[in-house]
Structure 1
Amino acid sequence: MDIYGNALSDFHQSGKADTLWLHNSYGEPEEMPIDIFFRNEEDMPEIELKALSLCKGKVLDVGAGVGSHALLLDKKKIDVSAIDISPIAVQIMQERGVRNPQLQDFFQVKEKYDTLLFMMNGIGLTRTLQGFEDFLKSAKKILNPKGQLLFDSSDISYLYDDMPMPTHQYFGEISFCYEYKNQKGNWFNWLYIDPTTLQRLSKQYGWNCKILYVDEQDQYLAQLTL
């Protein structure tokens, strides 16, 4: 069941929705504001605007949601394809006017691009640190020469200020579960990678890594090139 998509659909149709809860593996459930997925350019944080300004060539917007970033790239006449695994999100993208929305799993992509864009910690879809290492190897196959990866993530070590770090896994590996209108979806794994680990792994797998921006919440924007 597409719990996330159902919440997006309600908001898209009426401008309001019930509370979308995000259960996690480290503490109490948190409310996920649905309106942030529908942001326009004026409401986007600097870190996202910076990433969009760096997009070039043929762009793949991964985990595009309802297409807010793709719409801005479309407006700038950039050749962007927007993919998501939520059928409802893809339908909303079509209704919002995104030019090329696709129901697609990133790990099944075969076409080549100049920019792979992962916003709102979309790089988390690699799920684990090992998954991220595998991603660094496979992403080379779908990038054109002089291509780039652009993504934001954050160092979430602060979550463990008052409790011990996990000993059986990397501290940035988190499990989440959506709940909407008393219906819960399946648990899924998501990755947050700290900048030091990112730079180490990037170098190990043959990438140049630049941290281009850091905000007050320790979120950062990274650019990886071969």
Structure 2
Amino acid sequence: MKMDIYGNALLDFRQTGKAEILWLHNSYDEPEEMPVEVFFRGEDDMPEIELKALALCKGKVLDVGAGVGSHALLLEKKGLDVTAIDISEIAVQIMQERGVKKPLVQDFFKTTEKYDTLLFMMNGIGLTGTLPGFENLLESAKNLLLPKGQLLFDSSDISYLYDDLPMPTNQYFGEISYCYEYKKQKGNWFNWLYIDPTTLQRLSKQYGWNCKIVYVDEQDQYLAQLTL
């Protein structure tokens, strides 16, 4: 089994109520601390952008990259039919323990069932890794939506990172590489995407989606609602 560094940190927090520092190494700067308790948030601790996204969810929901199920639990409380998926087996195990009704270890790109809402929270859309990966998602998501379905996600424009650095010339500036480290163990590097609203609007149109930016917060994070 591949090393699940992120999962191990979640498990410690779940079992003891605390975790050591989960470090997130990145391709542009010094490593950052990732507070593990963030994944276990209740409604009162969620930022406005996430609450707005949850309020827009309808019908059958697929919560992608659901982590330990904090969003799924709130949606279930509202009476929605939620399937919560993650590629971390440990995270899915924790979801089950926390009472999420339909937790699955699953890769989004292997999904075949249809839903009314595809939800990617905490920049979960980043799992597409690259701009071409995101275009691939725009194409494949069409087959996963029921009539009048929607794709909901938050992301941010990270061009500010390059205020003092040269913009990358060989790739889109929102493509970042990350690697988790916990208790001196490092995982594999993975690609993550942040997409700026202008690029998002352009690509949505190109692939036949209507894109509405429904909310923007002070940190330049925005919530997007895409419909066909």
Q: TM-score, normalised by structure 1?
A: 1.00
- Tell me which residue corresponds to 1:95: 97
Map of 1:45-60 to 2, 5 A cutoff?
A: 45-60=47-62
Q: CA deviation at 1:58?
A: 0.4
C-alpha separation between the residues in 2 aligned to 1:218 and 1:53? Answer: 20
- Tell me which residue corresponds to 2:34: 32
Within the candidate set 183, 186, 189, 1:187 is matched to: 189
Moved runs in structure 1, 4+ residues, more than 4 A?
Answer: none
Q: CA deviation at 1:82?
A: 0.2
- Tell me which residue corresponds to 2:157: 155
Within the candidate set 204, 207, 215, 2:206 is matched to: 204
- Tell me which residue corresponds to 2:125: 123
C-alpha separation between the residues in 2 aligned to 1:163 and 1:222? Answer: 28
Amino acid at match of 1:60: L
Q: CA deviation at 1:61?
A: 0.1
C-alpha separation between the residues in 2 aligned to 1:135 and 1:83? Answer: 16
C-alpha separation between the residues in 2 aligned to 1:163 and 1:59? Answer: 40
Amino acid at match of 1:183: Q
The superposition leaves residues 87-135 of structure 1 with CA deviations (integer Å, 9 ceiling, x where unpaired) of 0000000000111100100000000001000000000011000010111
Within the candidate set 126, 132, 135, 1:133 is matched to: 135
Q: CA deviation at 1:54?
A: 0.5
Q: CA deviation at 1:43?
A: 0.3
Within the candidate set 76, 86, 91, 2:78 is matched to: 76
Q: TM-score, normalised by structure 2?
A: 0.99
Amino acid at match of 2:209: W
Map of 1:59-70 to 2, 5 A cutoff?
A: 59-70=61-72
| Secondary structure of the structure 2 residue equivalent to 1:186 | coil
Q: CA deviation at 1:222?
A: 0.1
- Tell me which residue corresponds to 1:44: 46
C-alpha separation between the residues in 2 aligned to 1:25 and 1:103? Answer: 28
Q: CA deviation at 1:152?
A: 0.1
| Secondary structure of the structure 2 residue equivalent to 1:77 | coil
Size of the alignment, in residue pairs?
226
Q: Percent identity between the aligned chains?
A: 84
